[in-house]
Amino acid sequence: MKNVNIQKDKESINQTLKKIHKKMVESFNVDFTYFRDIKIIKQQELLKKLTQRMRKNLKKNGTRYSDTQWKQISETLSKNQMPGFFENFSFYNPKDEVLYMNEKMIKNHPEKLIPVGAHELSEKLLSTYLSPPLEAPTQAVTKAHIEAKKTNNTKKLYELLETYIDIIFKSVFKEACCEAIALQTLRDMDYEMQVASLEKELQIGHSKCIDILFDIDNARRRGDSVTKDQVHLHYGRRKVQAIDEEKLVKVLRSAQMIKGVSYYLGYPLAKAVLEKYGIEGIKLVLEKCPPLEAQYFANPQTYLAQLEKITTVIEERR
């Protein structure tokens, strides 16, 4: 009976997400494929797949850890340092074109299914729409880290801090763009009440955790030694400790932690860019001029003022 119920849930989720996918293609004029499959799995299996994905990405970028170290990382994730995050967590794996959804979320938080699925679809849209980078951000960090270690070059370590911080800001904005695209699509599909509730939650979260980005900005401006710099990120009980020289290569792990608050941090700015310049503006910002200062996330109008200078470029792309 349990398997039958899960299959029914999967069919229902699939039908709903296919409608959202169709609307997203029509609204943004980006032709991207739907998921090859949706798999509903237990939380422990979800964490296992997430850890495997992180390990493959880090290995690809030249970073290797022992089985014992990865066991420790898995245990850390399993302890769920961000209460409730992994219970509501799903992820799309571009390698197999599969959307993995947590069984717990479907049972305990069915109201999350539509916004979470829409967010993952918007990530897939952006992966199709954006030009692939010549070099992955983690590769850049790994190379800089190796070079700095070989030469014991303090200047290189500081440049590495700069790169790391830029990656954080870009990641926050990109995640928020996915959320903005998802909520605009849902709004166009008459999910006004759900969108209003989600935007209220995002607004509250933004006001509570925006200091995170100012803490990171301040660390950059102080020019502290990378090996001594400690940035603490808070949102309620959530806490991420970043970054000393030993942890710089763990970009994916740190990015995963901050991902839990990225929607709050970046949504007002991403929504403002999307509403004023459309998906073309999102593409331009992500590829050419990402917001790399906390003030832009705190006051989106300051960033929009910067974009006014290149409005003609955006208009040409429409």
pLDDT of residue 31: 94
pLDDT of residue 250: 42
Rounded to an integer, the average pLDDT of 3-24 is 83
pLDDT tens, 249-265? 343 444 445 666 888 99
Q: Residues 58, 62, 66, CA angle at the centre, nearest 5°?
A: 65
pLDDT of residue 134: 44
Rounded to an integer, the average pLDDT of 103-126 is 88
Q: How many structural domains does the chain have?
A: 1
pLDDT tens, 174-194? 999 999 999 999 999 989 999
Rounded to an integer, the average pLDDT of 284-303 is 93
Rounded to an integer, the average pLDDT of 105-123 is 88
Helix (H, G, I), strand (E, B) or coil at 102: strand
Per the model's pLDDT, the better-predicted residue between 8 and 63 turns out to be 8
Range name among 44-53, 122-131, 243-252, 267-276 with the lowest pLDDT average = 243-252
pLDDT of residue 263: 86
Give the C-alpha separation, 150 to 163, whole Å: 18
Rounded to an integer, the average pLDDT of 137-149 is 57
Out of 148-157, 159-168, 206-215, the most confident range is: 206-215
Residue-number span of the structural domain to which 119 is assigned: 2-317
pLDDT of residue 249: 39
pLDDT of residue 238: 34
Q: Do residues 241 and 230 touch, judged by C-beta distance below 8 A?
A: yes
Residues in the chain: 318
Helix (H, G, I), strand (E, B) or coil at 39: strand
The per-residue pLDDT of the chain, averaged, comes to 75
Q: Do residues 171 and 240 touch, judged by C-beta distance below 8 A?
A: no
Q: Do residues 82 and 260 touch, judged by C-beta distance below 8 A?
A: yes
Residue 72: pLDDT band by 50, 70, 90 thresholds? low
What's the Cα-to-Cα distance from 57 to each of 116, 249, 293, rounded to whole Å?
23, 11, 27
Q: Do residues 122 and 182 touch, judged by C-beta distance below 8 A?
A: yes
Q: Which two tokens stand for residue 70?
A: 């990865």
Q: Do residues 180 and 285 touch, judged by C-beta distance below 8 A?
A: no
